[in-house]
Structure formats: C-alpha cells, structure tokens
A and B are shown apart, each in its own frame.
Chain A
Amino acid sequence: MHLHKYEKIWLIFGIASLVVFLSVVGISAFSHGHTPAGGMDTIDPKKVNETAPFDNPGVTQLDDDTYQVAIVAMAFSYTAPELKVPAGKEIIFKVTSTDVVHSFTIDNTKVNMMVVPGQITTKSYTFDKPGKYLILCNEYCGSGHHFMSTEIEVY
C-alpha cells in the first residue's frame, strides 16, 4: 500500500501525539492516583437505609486528615444532614441511589460522580478553598430532575 511521504509524516505526528496524550493521562491516573469516580462495591438498592455507611448519612471523621461523606440520592433530593467539611483535608465521598440513576456533582470541582442503584460510587477529593458549593444532579432522573440539588459548606 503506497503512502505519500507527507502522509507518513502526518500519521507519525498524529499517532505520536496520541501516544503522548495517553501517557499523560495514564501516568497521571495510575502513578498519581488521579482516577475518575468509580468503585466496585455493591449494595442492595432496597436496603440502602439499613446498610452502613448509608444508615447514618452525612460527614464522619475517619482520622485527623480524612473525612467520609455518605450520601443517598433519590428522586429528587440527596439525603444527608447539613454538609460541612474542612478545606485541605481528604474527603471521601460515597454515594448510592435508592431508585434511578443520578449524579452527585459539586460545581467548580472535579467531583462528578454517576450514582447507580446497586453500586456505591467513591471519589476522594480535597477542597482548596472554603465556600459554599452547589451540588446538583446532572443525570436525567425524572420530571423534577432540574430541582435536584443541595449545598456543601467548606470551612
């Protein structure tokens, strides 16, 4: 198959760029731990309210530098008492749903988690700046989808 000289240059340049992109993404993910939200834990969607940590949703301090925030999403709200977490500490979000698929998305952060019934989504995040952050659902979940929101305060 004949390849024009310029086409070879173009393809080598293109493929090399892709390799560079993938390396950046891959190294950042697997050696610096910058992986997207996920997790392999499962849960019975009908027994969420009796299963730890969702039987006691909200903020729990795990140790000096780590906090866990458990959230239950349902159409069209998030069950969690007042959310207040400190800046500069690792916050581990754990979210699940009792009904349909939702998201747990904190505006102005990289916290953008799909919430799937039967699964527990986990994401670790450290807030830099104090303030009040909007939390919203960005996966269509029904007629009240656009009202599904809450707030988290970072102090």
Chain B
Amino acid sequence: MIAAQDRKLALWNIGVAYIAFLIGTLCGLLQVFIRNDALQLPSWLDYYQILTAHGVLLALIFTTYFIFGFFVTGMSKSLGSFGPKVLLYSWIGFWVTTIGTVMATVMIISGEASVLYTFYAPLKASGWYYVGLALVIVGTWISSFALVGHYVVWRKAHKGELSPLFAFMTITTIIMWIIACLGVVATVLFQYIPWAFGWVDTINVELSRSLFWYFGHPLVYFWLLPAYMAWYVIVPKLLGVKVFSDSLARLAFVLFILFSIPVGFHHQLTEPGISNFWKFLQVVLTFMVIIPSLLTAFSMFGTFERAGRKNGGQGLFGWFTKLPWKDVRFTSIFVAMAFFIPGGAGGIINASFQLNEVVHNTMWIVGHFHITVGTPVAMTFMGLTFWLVPYLTGRKFSKVMQKLGFIQIITWTIGMLLMSTSQHILGLLGAPRRTAYTGYNNHPSALEWFDGILTNHVTMAVGGSILFLSAMLLIYIVVMTMFLSPKAELEADFVEFPMADSDKEHTPKFLENWWIWIGIAFALIIIAYAIPLYGMIHHAPPGSEGFKTW
C-alpha cells in the first residue's frame, strides 16, 4: 500500500470527482425529461442553467479530479511516496481548483453564467465565472507541476533509466495538458476577464473562439489518455500478462503530445474567419492523431489474444471466451473500449471537413460525446473506481459489491446504447443540440424527427433514466468502499493496485527525451496556428460588446 498521506490526497480528489458526478448526472436526468416535455422547471431555474452545470461538472470537474486521484495513486505506487514539497503543492493545487469549481458552480446556480461550458463570447457571464474557470486551470497546473517535481526527483536518482510506464504516461498527459491550457488561459485572462469586469468594452470574438478550441480538442485527450493508461498498464495485469510492447505504448503517447493540439479548427469548420486552407491543414493533422489510437487498438487486442491463449483458448477466436469476464474490473474496461470503436469512427466523420456540415451542432454531436467521454472514458474510470477506492481506504471489495458493479456497468451500457443511438439518428435527421423542449411551432420537419422507433421523446428519456439509476448505484458503491465497507484484515482481502510489468530493455531512450517532443509539438502548433491567429488579430472587425441573453 502507498503512504497514508498520498492516499488521503488521492481520496479527496476522487471524493470531489464523485460529488460532481452526482450533481452532474442529476442534471442529465432533468434534461431528458425537460426535452420530452414531461417536466416543467420552476421559474427560478432554466434548462440552460442545468445544461451548463451538466457540462461543467461532468466534462470538466468529474474528469479532472478523478484523473488527478488516479495519477497521484499511480505515481506514488510506481515512483515511491511523495516528499513534503510534492504533497504541499498537490494540496495547494487541489484547493485552488476546488475554490474555482465552487465559484463557477455558484455563478451557474445563481443564473449569472448560463453560457454553457464553452462560454462563447459575446455571451457575457459574471466575471467571477471566468475567474472560477481560470482558477480551475491554474490549480491543475500547480498539481501537475507537483507531479512533475516528483518525477524529476526520481529521474535524478535513477540516471540513464527509463521511468516506469505509468509515470511516463502521466508526464506525457501533463505536458500535453499544460501546452493545451495556454490557449484557454490566454483567452480567459487577456480577453474574457478584462471584458467581463468592464475594463475594456469589446472582445475579439473569432480570436476567443479559436483560442478556446486550441484548448478544447486536447481537452478531450486529457480525458482519454488516463483511460488509455488504464488500458495499457492496468488491463494486462488483470489478464495476467505483461504490457504488449513498452516501446509502442510510449510511442503512442508521445504522438498524442504532437498531434492532439494543432487540430482545434476542426471544431470551427462551418464558421467564417478561417480560410479553407487552414481548416483543411488542421483536418489533416486531426487524422494524424488517429494513428496512435490505431496503435492502441492493436496493442489491446494483442494483449487479449495473448492472455486468452495463455488461459487455454484455441483456434482463431477461442481466446476470446477465456478472458476474465467475471472480473468487473476487466469487463467494465472492455465495454468501455468497445464503445470507443463507434465513438472514434464518429470522430473521423465529424472531422471530415465538409462532411462536418451534416452533423455540426446537431444531436449527433451529443451522441458522439456520450460514446467517447461519456462511456469509453467514464466507464474506464468506473472500472478503476471499483478497485482504486478500496485500495486507498484499505476496505474490502465484497462479492456483493462485485455484483452491484456488474449491474452498474450493464445498466450504463443499456442506457447509453438507447440514448446515444437515439441522439445520433436525431442528429442525422437535423435535430439541433443544446436546445430545450421545442417543436418549432409544430413545423412538419421538426415533428418528423421525433417520429421514429428509436428517435422519439420516450427512448431518450428511458435511456437517460437508466443512466441515472446506474449513476446512483455507482455513488452507492463509492460511498460504501470509501466509508462503510469492512476494513480488510487478512492478506487476501486487501485490494491490490493492478499495475502490469513492462519490458523496457528494448525501448529506445529518445522516447523519454521530452524536449524533442515538446519542440516538435510547438513547431506543429506554430505551423497550424501562427498565420491564422495573426490574421484574426490584425484584420479584426470592430469587437463585440457583451450580451446577457438569458
């Protein structure tokens, strides 16, 4: 078991993550019922407030805290206990992020920030909402640098050695995150905050959108990479084998530093102010980032086949039946991966330049979200939670919990299949995203959208309700394993941290020479962004004043 202080830090992070998860999923439940006109909100609450809370709390807060809880545990496990400085800065980071989260949440609840988690200008929220978001980011930077410090200490003590795979991947994710956040920090500090507090009158809207999406796409990789870490490092251990290939795993991760950032324009394909050349260049770069995911898919199925054959699986597919399906830690993550196949394919469609017009800002995108971050990432985190929390608290994970865990992931799967399939089809038909209940004055086209077997108002609500029940079951499991389950006393009752061995003898050393990857990453960013951003600043139209249209 790792040091008590490190466990406490990790548990606080996971605790906040699940508080956000609880409120965020409740908002989701309300949304599906408002959208099918079964629920009228009281006058002091509106759909877009709930939508903002759902997005911020689940996509930003739940993910970020859980990721840090996972990183802290894994870094302590693989590199040794944190020193006092690392602990101190981790706690400062935690509290700064938490203060920011509370500020942003209060602003949302009080109706001062119904601007959604993308907060596109010139919708103008209270300045304190932007300050809150800035603190969230700054807090993650402080926590990130604490982990980097821990890593640097280890590297100095182990000259010439490659770091353990978990630590390598954590540092990769952090490097990507810090570079990615530069965009959102720039726009929030230099554009939104001065404008929201009235120190300047206007804002350059197109620039703010581009800086946001410079951050917005790598943000999704910040969610995905920790899930990939679980797939690469945790899953092989659950299967009783080693990491498929240490060098390929590291290569895939450094490719994410390079290609996950200079791609933000693929979120802005249907808007003015960016010429087709730059849009298309970033589309090409977006397709590059598919390559490390292809590497990952191969490694995963390679791992499964090795493990299945080791357990006596015969023939072309016999190994598949020999996987540990009765282990909820494995099955949950397997389902998560399976969802990423259509999720990733949908992403390729969305990024395909003019094809984006068919789906941009439709319900399809909402469906896409829910089978990328909403299941592959979230269900991987659930699969980690089942052992991570009892590992940190030293409590048992009983047979009953294992069963509840299965019910939880099965219900999440069913709910998500219903809801996301419905959303995808609705989007193709043309139904817009981010809208409260509306029939557009009973326009025949709008009525048609909701007339299908899967695309009616009931399917989404049923899916959403099942998802909410599943979420509450997960909260129950978390509360039990965090506070109430009996303490493990016998050796066999202790839950382990399943970290697979990884042969790094043949791994090239240059993979851990960060300056190479940071250098190439910045070169690509400059190529993809310098000229279009320069154009946005120097050929800017008169700026926009703020509007509060809610």
Q: Interface residues, chain A, CB within 8 Å of chain B?
A: 1-4, 6-7, 10-11, 14-15, 18, 21-22, 25-26, 28-30, 34-46, 75-76, 99-101, 103, 105, 107-108, 110-114, 116-122, 133-134, 136-147, 149, 151
Contact = CB atoms under 8 A, between A and B. Distances in A.
A119 B360 CA distance: 19
A3 B251 CA distance: 12
B432 to A, nearest CB: 4
A136 B432 contact: yes
Interface in B359-393: 360-362
Given A14-B291, A15-B291, A40-B275, 13 more contacts: A1-B248, A11-B294, A18-B287, A36-B353, A38-B270, A101-B209, A116-B206, A118-B542, A119-B206, A119-B272, A134-B443, A139-B361, A140-B435
B44 interface: no
A15 B295 CA distance: 11
Contacts of A45: 541-542, 544
Interface residues of B, number: 72
For the complex of A and B, the 4 pairs showing the least CB-CB separation, nearest first, are A142-B549, A138-B432, A114-B271, A118-B541
A142 B550 contact: yes
Interface string B408-448: 00000000000000000000001011111110110101100
Contacts of B542: 44-46, 118
Contacts of B399: none
Interface string B269-307: 111111110011001100100110011001000100000
B361 A1 contact: no
B361 A105 contact: yes
Contacts of B402: none
A142 B125 CA distance: 11
Contacts of A118: 204-206, 540-544
Contact of B361 (A4, A35, A112): A112
A137 B432 CA distance: 8
B361 A103 contact: yes
Interface of B: 46, 48, 114, 116, 120-123, 204-206, 209, 245, 247-248, 251, 268-276, 279-280, 283-284, 287, 290-291, 294-295, 298, 302, 348, 352-358, 360-362, 430, 432-438, 440-441, 443, 445-446, 506-508, 539-544, 547, 549-550
Given A4-B302, A105-B432, A99 B445 contact: no
B270 A36 contact: yes
Contacts of A3: 248
Contacts of A140: 48, 116, 120, 123, 434-435
A72 B16 CA distance: 45
Nearest to A104: B270
